[in-house]
Structures are given as structure tokens and as C-alpha cells.
Amino acid sequence: MIDVKTADLAAQNLARTQPEIEELYRTKALLRQILERGDAFALRDLAIGGEELLALGYRGKARRSGE
């Protein structure tokens, strides 16, 4: 999707769209780094699950019980 958005912007007035294109290049580079390092990119990638969080006292929207 980043490539599609970049191509779309490049087909427009570059004087106006160049800053957004540069931001997309930075975003793509950051995403590549995240994926290469194996960082968690989605909930399923996390090394901890809901049951472990509950056991630690988390409830609801990332609040610890008793807060």
C-alpha cells in the first residue's frame, strides 16, 4: 500500500506532494527495520498473551486491578 500511495502522489504535482512522498519513504524504511528485527508488529506477535496479563493484574483497558 505504501508503494501504491507513493506512485499516486508521484503522478501528481510534485511541488505539492514531495513532503508526503518523503514521509512515505521514511515510513517504509522504518517498517522494513521493524520486520527485519522481528519486532512485534501485531497482537499475535507479542510474546505475552491475555491470560498472562490477567495473572499480572491487568484488567480492562490496560489498567491494573486496584487502580
Q: What is the pLDDT of residue 62?
A: 54
**The three grid cell numbers given for residue 65, joined into one nine-digit string:** 486491578
Query: How far are the Cα atoms of 15, 44, 47, 62 from residue 58, in angstroms, in the given order?
Result: 49, 18, 16, 6
| Segments forming the whole domain that contains residue 13 | 2-64
pLDDT at 64 over 70: no
Tell me the angle at which helices 2-10 and 14-37 cross, rounded to the nearest 10 degrees.
Answer: 160
Dump pLDDT digits (tens) for 13-37: 999 999 999 999 999 999 999 999 9
Residue 45 pLDDT level (bands cut at 50, 70, 90): confident
Within 8 A by CB and 6+ apart from 28, the residues are: 2, 3, 6
How many domains are there within the chain?
1
pTM reported for the whole predicted model? 0.63
